[in-house]
Structure 1
Amino acid sequence: MPVVVTARVEMRPPTMGDFEDWAALRADSRDFLTPWEPIWPADDLTRSAYRQRLRRYGREVREDIGYTFFLFGRGDGGLLGGISLTNVRRGVTQSCSLGYWMGRRHAGRGLMSEAVKGVVVHVFETMRLHRIEAACLPSNEASKHVLHKVGFSDEGLARQYLRINGQWRDHLLFAMLATDPRP
């Protein structure tokens, strides 16, 4: 799987060597991330759960159905967050879904917008997909800002779309096409 590089961010697949930094960043950001994510399993931050996560990521890549990247700062190499491309569909659809998370201490600096822009280029130019979709809670102003800044279009509301923090929650739907202009 390729590395995606922007001015301030390098994105690559996670490795076992990233475990300690990942677990520390997720633990430090737990309260920040909890309102926007599914409930974390009790063992989520353990080495064995992380190893299983890496196996799943590898299987998804082999089957061309999902690609996960960790985001690292180009200056210091520190772990910033993650981006996933899931539900990759080929054939007549040629699309995928985008998800992302940022560590609390790195949020609000424009790094995720920059990373998503880089991943969008990867999706359209390297993976040769036609459409990338994303969804976020209506109250997630930061995520809506990222998607609008990168050039995603609003597509509507999906009622009780995902189970977030233990509850079925409505989500705003966004998409970008390979033919859409990019800011």
Structure 2
Amino acid sequence: MIALPFLKSAAPPLQGERLYLRPPQLSDYRAWSTLRAQSREFLSPWEPLWAADDLERGAFRHRIRHYDEEAAAGTAHPFFLFRNKDSRLLGGITLGNIRRGVGQNGMIGYWIGEPFAGQGLMHEALGLLIPYAFTKVRLHRLEAACIPSNERSIRLLEKAGFQREGLLRSYLKINGMWQDHLLFSMIEGDVRR
């Protein structure tokens, strides 16, 4: 694989009332690693197992390179969430697995640091990302999946206007185990309604 120079994602910052979204940068390492370490126990039930070096600077550099490659290929638009008043990192949200052709769809994934959970911040982030996905990225369908026991995520998706479609059996390996996921979707026309 050819090493690409660190690219700047083409995605612009997205401004909200309490927060803004912008593509991750190498300079975010310290804030990211601190928040992730602080939130590890809170996040681990909902994420793949973390590699032993997951919070190391080299692993973060690799993550940023991967984000930049996906953004350059048009297959993902990763963002970090920052609080407006002090630019503190709150979490992350990604429009990924973008498929073109006859599908024109993508998958939304997200995480928020434990100190910021339950404050409606991810709902605001979704409110910024959804119109961006339909108008700027020009997708027709958005999907999101969550573990059936993740009641917070289910409420978040339903509040944001996603519709529950069904159960994906043994869909992703989360926290070391293959887990069923509920599939949610939103179609471009749903936003206008």
Name the TM tier (shorter chain): over 0.9
Deviation at 1:91, TM superposition (A): 1.3
Q: Deviations over 1:49-102 (max 9, x none)?
A: 000000000100111011110000011110000001111011111100000000
Q: Is the 8 A contact 1:158 1:172 kept in 2?
A: yes
Q: Is the 8 A contact 1:158 1:173 kept in 2?
A: yes
Is 1:52 the counterpart of 2:73 in the alignment?
Answer: no
- Give the share of equivalent positions with the same residue, in percent: 51
Letter in 2 for 1:70: F
Is 1:174 the counterpart of 2:184 in the alignment?
Answer: yes
CA distance, structure 2, for counterparts of residue 159 and residue 32 of structure 1: 24
Q: Deviations over 1:115-162 (max 9, x none)?
A: 011100100111110000000000001101110010000000000000
Q: Secondary structure at the match of 2:128?
A: helix
CA distance, structure 2, for counterparts of residue 77 and residue 67 of structure 1: 20
TM-score by length of 2: 0.93
CA distance, structure 1, for counterparts of residue 154 and residue 24 of structure 2: 26
Question: Alignment RMSD, CA only?
Answer: 1.0
Q: Secondary structure at the match of 2:145?
A: strand
| Structure 2 unpaired stretches of 5+ | 1-10
| Structure 1 unpaired stretches of 5+ | none
Q: Is the 8 A contact 1:151 1:182 kept in 2?
A: no
Q: Secondary structure at the match of 1:116?
A: helix
TM-score by length of 1: 0.98
Q: Is the 8 A contact 1:32 1:104 kept in 2?
A: yes
Letter in 2 for 1:59: E
Deviation at 1:182, TM superposition (A): 6.1
Q: How many residues align?
A: 183
Matched with 2:169 is 159
- Aligned pairs for 1:118-129 within 5 A: 118-129=128-139
Matched with 2:48 is 38
Deviation at 1:40, TM superposition (A): 0.3
Is 1:105 the counterpart of 2:122 in the alignment?
Answer: no
CA distance, structure 2, for counterparts of residue 80 and residue 30 of structure 1: 14
CA distance, structure 2, for counterparts of residue 114 and residue 157 of structure 1: 26
CA distance, structure 2, for counterparts of residue 131 and residue 37 of structure 1: 24
Deviation at 1:181, TM superposition (A): 3.7
CA distance, structure 1, for counterparts of residue 37 and residue 51 of structure 2: 13
Matched with 2:8 is none
